[in-house]
Amino acid sequence: MSQTIIPRAAVRGTASGVLFMAFFGTLWAGIGIRGLQGWGFLWLLILSLLIGVLLLIGGIKLIKNSRRLSNAMMEGDATRRSKRMGMMFGIIFGLEGLLIAAASAICSATNHLDLFVPVMALIVGAHFFPLAHLFRVRIHYIAGTLLCLLATITLLTLPVRVTLGHHQIEVWWATVGFGSALILWGTGVAVWLTGLRLLKRARNGFKEDVDSFRL
């Protein structure tokens, strides 16, 4: 039946992407809030959590609605490919974590903690490129490019910190934190819309099959 053209795993894959973007986007927003050193803390925290929760709900709804789809295509070569993709994702994600841990240790040991957040954004941005190739999701190329550009431009053009009156702002942390959050949240919305389109195609295909059967 046409319903199997859009397997459950495809929709749940997009849902997982939405959940990841919701979680990590909110974490980056937290870094941005910390960079402001108390300015607008409560309102920015509420706004960040609200955006994260909305994306989280969107991802959960995709998973819930995917239950009606078939997984008939997940056999043979498709199953083996799915397992391979899962293994490669684990390797990429694990390597990203190791690089971030190494960057943290080096920045701390050399007393350059200011560098850590921009360097971490570079690492996160770079990890999107193999993910884009692995999952064949072009939006990940855009996300990776934007994150790398954000970190690079911040390092090259902005001061580490500024003092306004008696208040000090960590410019690198605030800029990279909020910028990365917006990039990841935007990517999450794009992936969520892709999931909705997959669900719509699956439903339309199933409806066509039912109509053909009635005829």
Query: Would you state the pLDDT for residue 215?
Result: 29
Cβ–Cβ < 8 Å for 66, 8: yes
Q: Report the alpha-carbon distance of residue 184 to residue 176 in Å, rounded.
A: 12
The beta strands (E) that lie in 108-202 are given as: 161-164, 167-170
pTM: 0.88
Query: Which ranges of the chain have pLDDT less than 70?
Result: 1-7, 70-79, 205-215
Query: Would you state the pLDDT for residue 205?
Result: 60
- 184 contacts: CB under 8 Å, gap ≥ 6: 21, 24, 25, 28, 143
Counting every residue written for the chain, the total comes to 215
List the beta bridge partners of residue 169: 162
Buried b (16+ CB within 10 A) or exposed e, 110-136: eeeebebbbbbbbbbbbbbbbbbeeee
Neighbouring C-beta atoms of residue 211, cutoff 10 Å: 9
Q: Report the alpha-carbon distance of residue 117 to residue 18 in Å, rounded.
A: 23
Residue from 156, 98, 102, 153 nearest 127 by CA = 98
Q: Report the alpha-carbon distance of residue 78 to residue 68 in Å, rounded.
A: 20
Residue from 176, 184, 178, 174 nearest 144 by CA = 184
**Structure-token pair, residue 205:** 């295909």
Tokens 């109509």, residue located: 211
Residue from 169, 212, 202, 187 nearest 33 by CA = 169
DSSP state of 215: -
Query: Would you state the pLDDT for residue 41?
Result: 87
Spans of all domains in the chain: 2-214
- Classify 192 as helix, strand or coil: helix
Q: Report the alpha-carbon distance of residue 24 to residue 96 in Å, rounded.
A: 14
- Would you say the C-alpha torsion 117, 119, 121, 127 has a positive or negative sign? negative
